[in-house]
Amino acid sequence: MREGRRGMYCFAPYGGWYDQQLTKNVGVVPYIFHKEYGFHSVMVTGRGGPYPSLDTYVKGLELARMESPEQEHLLDYMEKQAEDMDVFVMHGPLPFYYALLERYRELRPDGKVYLELDPNGWWMNRIPPDQELFQRFLSQCDVIGVSCRRMQRYLSAKWPCRLDYLPNGYYDFAGGDVHVDFNGKENVILTVGRIGTAQKASQVLLEAFAATAPALPGWRLRLIGNIDRAFERGYKKKYFERYPELRDCVEFTGPIQDKKRLMEEYRRAKIFALTSAMEGGTPNVVAEALYGGCYMITSDIDGASDVVDDGACGEIFPIGSTRALADILLRVCRDPKRLLAGGQRAEVYGRENFDFLKIAARLHYLLFDEPPRNRISGNGMGV
């Protein structure tokens, strides 16, 4: 510990951090530890940027750029910074981290190790739980956080260690957060993410909307995010050739970087749809949509129950099933009472369970067995 304050260092696996990660769980946790608890928080990266979020949203979070992401450079850096490295943060149970963790434990036997997991069943099932190196890796972690309850239960039955539920939450970068005006919501179905990638399965939502649009006059579909180039040149072009009548009600906005503008999109949409074929844990956009009071519709990813509060604020459909999604859209878009009740529950549920300040307070307690000395009291995060 230097200068009377603790240091938190987050090492990027296999290359480095992207700017957009700095305003997601990867960067928000160390940012909160810096802003709220006075930590010296550092993101260690082998990638060169640019990083506009450092000045716009996470001011005070530091970036340490390595000459290269090779492990030898990271080990050298760790040797030099060990005195300040009170918390060593890793993202994923990756062999990349094994040597780094071993050296950290040699240098700082008194230090704390946080392993953050955004796991899915496919990835976790590829790890042999009885492998000696893997078990040693787990045993050297002080806190292992899992971002969805289904995977927390599943891995707790397989791994010889404690796993804590620490979801990806929402942090109000824009300031002046207000509750949702449900009377001002519009007939909009919203999705946010990397549009057109195989993982996000955007075509499932687009085809379901095309199948239901004739029966749902006045409804619009808005897709926010970077668009995969091949998807844009191929599928998107053909989609509007097949459904020219949808050009005025299907909108591809591109990415929205401004956090205030993005939250306005959530707050005016009645429905948020997640159609992913696979996700790690509970996606960051889920907390944003819940705070925006959206009725939640999701494919049956590992975190699906967390997304819809076990059905209290939304519905789940089988992965890849356009027909099942279309059936849900037809039903809920014609049921304003259901949409209102689900949206109102989503907002309450989001604030109760996905407030990143509360999540960070819980992590602080798990790491140091002491309440953080700041304005936050309580954590509201049952295990």
pLDDT in tens, 57-95: 999 999 999 877 678 889 999 999 999 999 999 999 999
- Residue 219: left (phi > 0), alpha (psi -120 to 50), or beta? beta
pLDDT in tens, 145-193: 999 999 999 999 999 999 999 999 999 998 866 789 999 999 999 999 9
**How is residue 281 written in tokens?**
């844990």
**How is residue 380 written in tokens?**
């509201």
User: CB–CB of 50/61 below 8 Å?
Assistant: no
CB neighbour list of residue 184: distance below 8 Å, 6 or more residues apart? 267, 268
% of the chain exceeding 70 in pLDDT: 95
Domains of the chain: 7-169+355-368 (3.40.50.2000), 182-353 (3.40.50.2000)
The CA dihedral of 35, 38, 43, 49, to the nearest 10 degrees, is: 40
The confidence band for 126, taking pLDDT boundaries of 50, 70 and 90, is confident
**How is residue 314 written in tokens?**
């939304």
In angstroms, rounded to a whole number, what is the distance separating the alpha carbons of residues 333 and 327?
Answer: 10
The pLDDT assigned to 371 comes to 62
**How is residue 338 written in tokens?**
């259901």
In angstroms, rounded to a whole number, what is the distance separating the alpha carbons of residues 349 and 329?
Answer: 22
SS3 assignment, position 261: helix
The pLDDT assigned to 280 comes to 84
pLDDT in tens, 346-356: 999 999 999 99
**C-beta neighbour count of 325 within 10 angstroms:** 25
Report in angstroms the alpha-carbon separations of 261 from 50, 256, 315.
Answer: 22, 7, 26
**How is residue 70 written in tokens?**
């090779």
Average pLDDT over residues 370-382: 44
SS3 assignment, position 201: coil
Average pLDDT over residues 309-323: 98
Strands (E), 17-147: 40-45, 62-65, 87-91, 112-117, 143-146
**How is residue 355 written in tokens?**
């407030």
The pLDDT assigned to 3 comes to 67
Higher-confidence position of 290 and 65: 290
Q: How many residues can be counted in the chain?
A: 383
Across the chain, mean pLDDT equals: 92
The pLDDT assigned to 372 comes to 59
Q: Is the peptide bond prior to 318 cis by the omega test (within 30 degrees of 0)? A: no
CA atoms within 13 A on the CB side of 342: 25
CA atoms within 13 A on the CB side of 130: 0
User: CB–CB of 194/231 below 8 Å?
Assistant: no
User: CB–CB of 37/364 below 8 Å?
Assistant: yes
Locate tokens 């992913």: which residue? Answer: 276
pLDDT in tens, 12-60: 987 789 999 999 999 999 999 999 999 999 999 987 779 999 999 999 9
The pLDDT assigned to 379 comes to 33
The pLDDT assigned to 8 comes to 98
User: CB–CB of 42/34 below 8 Å?
Assistant: no
User: CB–CB of 23/52 below 8 Å?
Assistant: no
**C-beta neighbour count of 378 within 10 angstroms:** 9
The confidence band for 373, taking pLDDT boundaries of 50, 70 and 90, is low
The confidence band for 123, taking pLDDT boundaries of 50, 70 and 90, is confident
The pLDDT assigned to 368 comes to 95
